Structure 1
Amino acid sequence: MDPEIIEKIVQEMAAFTPDMGNIEGVPMLQNICNEWDTIHSFQARDGDVVVASYPKSGTTWMQEIMDFILQEGDVEKSLRAPCFIKVPFLEMAKTSLELANTMPSPRLLKIHLPVHLVPPSFWEKNTKIVYVARNPKDCMVSYYYFQKSDQTLPDPGPFENYFNVFLSGNVSWGSWFDHVIGWWKAKDRHQILYIFYEDMIEDPQREIRKVMTFLEKDLSEDVLQKILQHTSFESMKKNPMVNFSVLPNSVIDQSISPFMRKVSWGSWFDHVIGWWKAKDRHQILYIFDEDMIEVSYGCPNGVFMSSVFLIFFFKPSIVHFGQDPQREIQKVMTFLEKDLPDEVLQKIVQHTSFKMIKNMQTKGSCRVSL
């Protein structure tokens, strides 16, 4: 580990401002926009491996898993440098790009870019990419707290306002919806392994095996158990090479919110409960996802909003099948003051069925279910 490189990156990040610009319509930190030509012209090499994700989707967790796999479970090698040094984040700073360009192959790199902004050389070199997707509700909450602590990002303000900001995609790296859908559509055209954060929590050993197979690493059971142990939340939270504690408060102020808050799903509920309490004071219709079953599974947003009303799809961990989508659609019709005939209602039920939307998804006309 070279202290001078760390200091150089820290100085660059500390000089970042929270000003925003955009690249091809995608909101992005102005500092990234200023370096965009260099980032986009980055030259991939044969053997490069990339971890990609929307921010706050388990990127650090996955990059540690991938690094351990590539180092074949060698703990000492995994501790060779902070995660942002050993796995250069291409959008972070000039020095990160310089570091990536001077690293020996094979390289492990990190990006948060939407798929259409990925440097073309990645596709030319048929680079292997592991993409991690996380459900938008937990992702939004995690991103909110990260923006509070990361001094290079705009102040998120109160959560009630951030809810709208996130849904509109007016955050750095753009819309969560466009991001996960774009990468999903690209996964069958390129060497992309699409991993779900929730699956990593449910069975990390199973997901690590998927990554090992994708990276063509046949590691022993002992090595797999070592990777599981050292990439657990408890281990990573204590590891200064992973938890970003080497960065000063001028870059990430962890007294506001720790970089590694929790590895879980469902933490969004603490924020959603506020909407439940507010439903009787405002024009809010609260819809339970398990009551709809057939309706909402085809598209991942889980939330639909306009300036007049809010429909909140609440998806608990246990889904009770055999509920009544027609009844829930009628609730929404009443809420929207739409008196539609029964034949129209049946048409809506038919065309929003899981089977119908799944067929539309296959043809590329609907968002993938997350």
Structure 2
Amino acid sequence: MAEADLYTMYKGVLVPTLIHPPQSLRRYETFAFRPDDVLIVTYPKSGTTWMQEIVPLIMSGGDPASVETLHNWDRVPWLEEGRSCSLNLDDRPSPRMFTTHFLHHMMPPSFFEVRPKVIYVMRNPKDVFTSAFHYHRMASFLVDPEPQSDFLHKFLHGKVMFGSWFEHIKSWLNDRERIFYISYEEMIKDLGDSVARIALFLEKPLDKGVIKKIAERCGFDNMKKNNMSNYSAVPQEIMDCTKSEFLRKGIAGDWKNQLTAAEAEYFDAVYEDNMKDVDYKFAWA
């Protein structure tokens, strides 16, 4: 199907129409945040599902009940998705946990009024592209990424869902109030330390034993087995896991198996041009 049939242009970025219908986007604009809300913000394919596993475990003091009984899209729902309209989010007890893929300037007015806690997860954009390529192959509501060279050009120039990776990163780095930044690469390197730092930010300090249990439970292989998190419940006509698993490898550097030398060089040139004025030390740099 053509992009016009699959996507909606919303505030300058493309969003998949199937999961972002007009009614959910309208509701998003009037959503009322609370100061103690926790918001996970990511550009797609940057570690969203991983963080949707970690944060509920921290908030519950390590109790696995929610991650064992609730799908991640219900336990830490996307505010902009259609499902949000049926979850009675306004009635959830505090502290509530949410997710969004939107850029900073796309947040609803209440966000800037109350300033909830934000966990911003970032990832090497070459690996984001690689993961996105495989995701687009298996998701029927996204455009076909073949040929790869064309999809790479679209990705680097923001002609994909949720727009430019560069603009997304920069929009959230420009306002650092009550925002905790962490990278996919940091989490791979030392998940226990990452869990401990996130817990401190959330004002939920945990003892070493609980931190260790959360880190073990959120290891990639264990998460992949969790049917509440691995998207195995999604119908095949929506996500065809025979083409690619949703939780695929969970590693850093897989882009080396995806990009040609010429594509990697082109990627680096676009990256340098877009990020030359950004004052932040990225884990992959």
Residue 22 of structure 2 aligns with which residue?
A: 34
Tell whether 2:6 aligns with 1:23: no
1:77 Cα deviation from its structure 2 partner: 3.5
Instruction: Trace 1:281-300 onto structure 2 (pairs within 5 A).
Output: none
Residue equivalent to 2:132: 143
CA shift in 2, pair 1:158/1:75, >3 Å:
same
Give the Cα separation in 2 of the matches to 1:90 and 1:46. 16
Match of 1:328 in 2: none
Paired position in structure 1 for 2:146: 157
User: Is it true that 1:245 corresponds to 2:232 in the alignment?
Assistant: yes
2:72 paired with 1:106: no
Equivalent runs, 1:33-72 vs 2, <5 Å: 34-35=22-23, 36-72=25-61
Alignment of 1:337-352 (within 5 A): none
Structure 1 spans left out of the alignment, 5+ residues: 1-16, 277-283, 288-300, 306-312, 314-351
If you compute each CA radius of gyration, which structure gives the higher value, 1 or 2?
1
Distance 1:361 1:25 in 2: 22
Offset, 1:177: 0.4
Which residue of structure 2 lines up, in the alignment, with residue 275 of structure 1? Answer: 261
CA RMSD, Structure 1 to Structure 2 (Å): 2.5
CA contact (8 A) 1:18 1:154 kept: no
Matched letter for residue 118 of structure 1: M
In structure 2, distance between residues paired with 1:137 and 1:46: 34
Aligned-pair CA distance for 1:361: 4.1
State the partner residue of 1:73.
62
What aligned pairs does 1:1-370 form with structure 2 within 5 A after superposition? 19-31=6-18, 32=20, 34-35=22-23, 36-93=25-82, 95-99=83-87, 100-187=89-176, 190-272=177-259, 274-275=260-261, 302-304=268-270, 361-362=278-279, 369=282
- What percent identity do the matched residue pairs reach? 34
Give the Å deviation of 1:33.
6.2
Deviation string 1:335-359 (CA, Å, 9 cap, x unpaired) is: xxxxxxxxxxxxxxxxx9xxxx6xx
Q: How many residues align?
A: 276
User: How far apart in 1 are the matches of 2:197 and 2:118?
Assistant: 13
- Over 3 Å counting, the alpha-carbon distance change for 1:158 and 1:110 in structure 2 is same
Distance 1:217 1:110 in 2: 19
Equivalence for 1:14: none
Q: Which has the higher contact order (CA 8 A, sep 6+)?
A: 2
Instruction: Check conservation: 1:90, 1:111, Cα contact below 8 A.
Output: yes
Q: Is the 8 A contact 1:22 1:33 kept in 2?
A: no
Q: So what's the TM-score if we normalise by structure 2?
A: 0.89
Query: TM-score scaled by structure 1?
Result: 0.69
Q: How many Å apart are 1:161 and its aligned residue?
A: 1.4
Structure 2: runs of 5+ lacking an equivalent: none
Counterparts in 2 of 1:131 and 1:237: CA distance versus 1, 3 Å? same
Aligned to 1:97, what secondary structure does the other structure show? helix
Give 2:238's aligned amino acid: V
Matched residue of 1:195: which SS? strand
Tell me the SS of whatever aligns to 2:206: coil
Cα separation, partners in 2 of 1:58 and 1:65, compared to 1, 3 Å: same
Retained in 2: the 8 A contact 1:22–1:30?
Answer: no
